[in-house]
Amino acid sequence: MGQLGLGRQFGKLAPRLDGAFRADGVFAHDRLRFVDFVDDVEDLLEDVAWQELGNKKVVDGFEEYMLQHYSG
């Protein structure tokens, strides 16, 4: 994130991602529902988009895309 100029956002993102993945990098379904995780990530992306671009709409469709492509 630092290379993208978004390093200051990492402090907000890391705590919300903590525990969502196991040590092997696999999503921890037993700890968190995937739909809740995707919703949280979309909220985070909206915050970042607003702060960096002044426009939340650039992330519209993220949640729908993720759920269509990655949920069972």
Query: Comparing C-alpha atoms, which of 63, 47, 64, 44 is closest to residue 55?
Result: 47
Tokens representing residue 20 in the block: 């969502």
pLDDT band for position 72 (50/70/90)?
Answer: low
pLDDT tens-digit series, residues 18-67: 788 888 888 888 888 888 888 888 888 888 788 777 888 888 888 888 88
Residue 2 banded pLDDT, cuts 50, 70, 90: low
Predicted TM-score (pTM) of this structure? 0.67
**How much of the chain is in helix, strand and coil states, percent to nearest 5?**
60, 5, 35
Phi, psi of 8 (to 5 degrees): -70, -20
Rounded Cα distance between 31 and 68, Å, is 21
Task: Identify the pLDDT of residue 10.
Answer: 66
d(CA 34, CA 26): 12
pLDDT on residue 5: 57
